[in-house]
């Protein structure tokens, strides 16, 4: 029977959602049943055997929807295989070295026995919502720094680890 995996994500401009969908596609190819949903829309995690939670990084904090998801479902998450990812650096640093989780994510990881956290590069395109995003773009610091090969490789590791459970 295939493992049922939830990927819950918090995103403002959609780039973290695209990472979540990429992870979902890989997990499906590896034989898992997967749903990728905005974190704010998930009412229960009871139907899932494993959970991946991702959030965009904004001013050193995980996206509010990802933070709220983890708080709201912490009791149910504690009993499941759980992975976290962040997206955010608007430079190639996330592909060049491991970037540790921001403090709030690190605390949640310790409380919930998260198997792994990874930070992927972010993406900020013209037309992004929010004044901070517009300022970053105005200063020429936007762009797409997501490394989809790295994202896909991480998803394969999750699938293989989940197969051993």
What whole-number distance in Å separates Cα of residue 69 and Cα of residue 41?
A: 9
Query: Among 48, 44, 45, which Cα is nearest to 34's?
Result: 48
Q: Which helix (H) or strand (E) holds 140?
A: none
- pLDDT classification of 1: cutoffs 50, 70, 90: very low
Q: Does residue 155 carry a pLDDT above 90? A: yes
3 within 8 A of 50, measured Cβ to Cβ: yes
User: In the chain, what are the domains?
Assistant: 4-164 (3.40.50.360)
Q: Taking a C-beta distance cutoff of 8 angstroms, is the pair 53, 84 a contact? A: yes
Q: What is the pLDDT of residues 111-141, one digit of tens each?
A: 999 999 999 999 987 777 887 777 777 787 8
The rounded mean pLDDT for the chain is: 92
What per-residue confidence (pLDDT) applies to 124?
86
Per residue in 52-80, pLDDT tens? 999 999 888 999 999 999 999 999 999 89
């Amino acid at each position: 029977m295939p493992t049922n995996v939830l990927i819950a994500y918090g995103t403002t401009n959609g780039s973290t959602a695209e990472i979540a969908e990429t992870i979902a596609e890989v997990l499906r190819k590896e034989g898992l049943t997967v749903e990728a949903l905005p974190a704010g829309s998930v009412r229960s995690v009871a139907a899932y055997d494993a959970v991946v939670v991702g959030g965009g990084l904004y001013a050193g904090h995980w996206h509010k929807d990802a933070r709220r998801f983890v708080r709201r479902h912490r009791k149910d998450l504690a009993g499941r295989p759980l992975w976290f990812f962040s997206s955010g650096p608007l430079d190639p640093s996330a592909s060049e070295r491991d970037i540790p989780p921001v403090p709030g994510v690190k605390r949640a990881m310790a409380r919930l026995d998260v198997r792994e956290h990874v930070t992927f590069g972010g993406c900020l395109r013209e037309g992004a919502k929010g004044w901070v995003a517009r300022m970053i773009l105005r200063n020429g610091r936007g762009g797409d720094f997501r490394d989809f090969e790295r994202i896909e490789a991480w998803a394969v590791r999750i699938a293989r680890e989940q197969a051993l459970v």
